[in-house]
Chain A
């Protein structure tokens, strides 16, 4: 089989890899921000149960933040368990546990990736938000801005600038993590590469690495440009 035939077959798989990559970012970037805001939620419904004179235990109960607690638990589960197992659970789980019809393979893979990456992104967002000095929030409040205005007009731009490098790390990891979806028979790049082993050829699988390298090269370049564009303060 010629080099060109192999390249076109691998390119077919790479299209699926690319689709998964971009759609994951499209879903996970906004969802991550929601997860982040929820895990930072200060809502504590029991706050009125205690004041400064109450016992330590009562104060602990009063300080309980249910939304934040639930979100942190979910983030722990998602970040703490292997992505490959999550893919298997999302695809086969509904059928095995409840006898429900399954999602299409690609959809199940995409859903898992969006949830998984949103959890990682949420922590990066949180780091970014908390790195903005408190004085800026106070200054905003003094000027009579609402917390919504402070977030969008003061915090957000600085935030984006600070989270670009760690986000870039995650993007590059995501490019290669897409290979995991072959456990539920989504035919991405590595699946295509492996299929040549049956024809007695190992080199197409190694050749796959070139595709990943090219993708990360483009990504690194784009992130670099983006970072330069944002460096208007220095």
Chain B
């Protein structure tokens, strides 16, 4: 019994020692990422920013820029699909190093993480079936829980069903369980209309303009590093070239 107690005590003590070490690690996020040799990028499946090609590789405007950024740091890039509502926790616990997924810059986001300069413009749009009326107050809505679209609906004082993500919101409209949903213009451009999965859906109205930024840990020195990288990439034309590839050149913000 005494032996077991001693072992337990040793375990507790070594655990508390570990805790103490955690705090005293180097403060530089850049050094942390370089030491680790990988930049872990938190994303969701969100065309045209981050999505998989037929070989199962992550591509898209954000994904390609993330690869270039990792290369500029001299590290490998690793994409991890996260649950979007957990993005701040994932950053803080170092499960990921950066949130790079067409993230709308809001006051809430700025409170939770360090955000880069805005790099892309977007809008929240109302998507409905072609034959739905134009009176928003008469329609029933769906929107991604905690998204910019949901915030836009809140601002208009319109009630909505909160769903898991933007694609589920579209699915709700297509299945007829709601009349309309509010999603990103970028996503709407890629997912509705002729030649897509939802040929019968249309954009009825634009609700709110917004800007995208890349999220880092609060106070991280990666933010400065990223802003400098992005400015240089904009000036040498590689940002616009990448934007052309994914059809979002009109949305890019000059650096």
Contact = CB atoms under 8 A, between A and B. Distances in A.
Given A100-B22, A195-B45, A200 B170 contact: yes
Contacts, number: 61
Contacts of B22: 98-101
Residue of A101, A187, A200 ringed by the most chain B CB atoms within 10 A: A200
Interface string A9-53: 000000000000000000000000000000000000000000000
Nearest to B89: A92
Interface residues of B, number: 29
B83 A185 contact: yes
A101 B95 CA distance: 8
Given A92-B93, A99-B23, A200 B191 contact: yes
Interface in A160-208: 182-185, 187, 194-195, 197-202
B19 interface: yes
B92 interface: yes
A39 B208 CA distance: 59
Count chain B CB atoms within 10 A of each CB in A96, A187, A199 and give the residue with the most: A199
A102 interface: yes
Given A99-B19, A100-B22, A198 B167 contact: yes
Pick the most buried of A91, A99, A194, A197: most chain B CB atoms within 10 A of its CB.
Answer: A99
B171 A202 contact: yes
Q: What's the interface size class on A, roughly? A: 20 to 34
A127 interface: no
Interface string B153-176: 000000000001101101100110
Given A198-B167, A199-B197, A200-B196, A96 B83 contact: no
A182 B82 CA distance: 9
Interface string B91-114: 011110000000000000000000
Interface in A61-102: 91-92, 94-96, 98-102
Contacts of A91: 95
Nearest to A96: B93
Interface in B98-154: none
Interface in B168-222: 168, 170-171, 174-175, 191, 196-198
Interface of B: 18-19, 22-23, 45-47, 80-83, 86, 89, 92-95, 164-165, 167-168, 170-171, 174-175, 191, 196-198
12 contacts: A91-B95, A95-B92, A101-B22, A183-B83, A185-B80, A185-B83, A197-B165, A197-B168, A198-B45, A198-B165, A200-B171, A200-B197
Interface of A: 91-92, 94-96, 98-102, 105, 182-185, 187, 194-195, 197-202
Given A100-B19, A185-B80, 11 more contacts: A94-B93, A95-B92, A98-B19, A99-B19, A100-B18, A101-B94, A184-B83, A197-B165, A197-B168, A200-B167, A200-B196
